[in-house]
Amino acid sequence: MSRVEEAIRKAEADGRSAFVGYLPVGYPDLETSIQAAITLAENGVDVIELGPPYSDPVMDGAVIQEATTAALANGFRMADLFTAVRAITAATDVPVLVMTYWNPVFQYGVDRYADDLLAAGGAGLITPDITPEVAGEWIAASERTGLDRVFLAAPTSTDARLDLVVSASTGFVYTVSTMGITGERAELDRAARTLVGRLREHGATRACVGIGISTAEQIAGVSEYADGAIVGTALVRALRDGGIPALAEVTRTLATGTSSARPVPEN
């Protein structure tokens, strides 16, 4: 079993959904981003999602784009990602997934990227802009290294697409709550619940919902039907506006939503 799936199962055994927390690497600087990720782990996050800054972040909303642009301006380099993962995994057992656009992986070298991520203690990749049928090189590298590969499913995905995503994903399926870029929304689309149901029908055992989740109440709602909730913008905003102390407080508050009314599984 992968470390990511084990973290989700541990949360389930505790009677709650998993909390996946996203932060960009290198924001506001490399050392602070490392401490910020550790802060997530210390305050209720079950899986850390790290985003290397990218010059063309087509899925990112304004708050995350602002942060990643600042990280690039401050001189972020790919080597910094592995430095960060190594430092974070030395400080916590919470698994670290890297949320990355595909071009940086391709340019770095797929096998080299996988080997360096594994050596740093990383758990795998979330790849928002590559689909399983064209990800053969990454699938082979992940099978060789044991890294998780998390693909995305959207409300518009066909049944054939869901079959492909479910069969190719490990750890969990990243379930897109609504069409569009990341950010906060007052209400999550009903499409998220429907999509998770469809994923279950296609054999998905782990589905975590992301995009638009920003409150403990929304996490509680997602917990009724999914295995976990993914939060990014609210955490990045907290770090931007109040530094590590504010990030810790917001993380603890969001984590209260994971309990909801989920029953603890019988042994």
- pLDDT tens-digit profile of 45-104? 999 999 999 866 556 678 888 999 999 999 999 999 999 999 999 999 999 999 999 999
Q: What is the DSSP string of 209-238?
A: EESB--SHHHHHHHHTTSSEEEE-HHHHHH
Give me the half-sphere count of Cα atoms (radius 13 Å) on the Cβ side of residue 87.
19
- CA angle (155, 160, 162) in 5-degree steps: 45
pTM tops 0.85: yes
Q: Which residue in the list 5, 12, 46, 60 is annotated as catalytic?
A: 60
Rg (CA), the chain: 17
Which of 197, 186, 150 has the alpha carbon at shortest distance from 20? 150
Q: Which residue in the list 49, 80, 116, 148 is annotated as catalytic?
A: 49
- Is 115 among the residues known to form the active site? no
Range name among 72-76, 251-255, 257-261 with the lowest pLDDT average: 257-261
Q: What pLDDT score does 191 carry?
A: 81
Is domain 3-258 in CATH 3.10.580.10, yes or no? no
What mean pLDDT, rounded, does the chain reach?
91
Range name among 25-34, 109-118, 197-206, 254-263 with the lowest pLDDT average: 254-263
Output the six-digit token pair for 46.
């079950």
pLDDT surpasses 60 at 243: yes
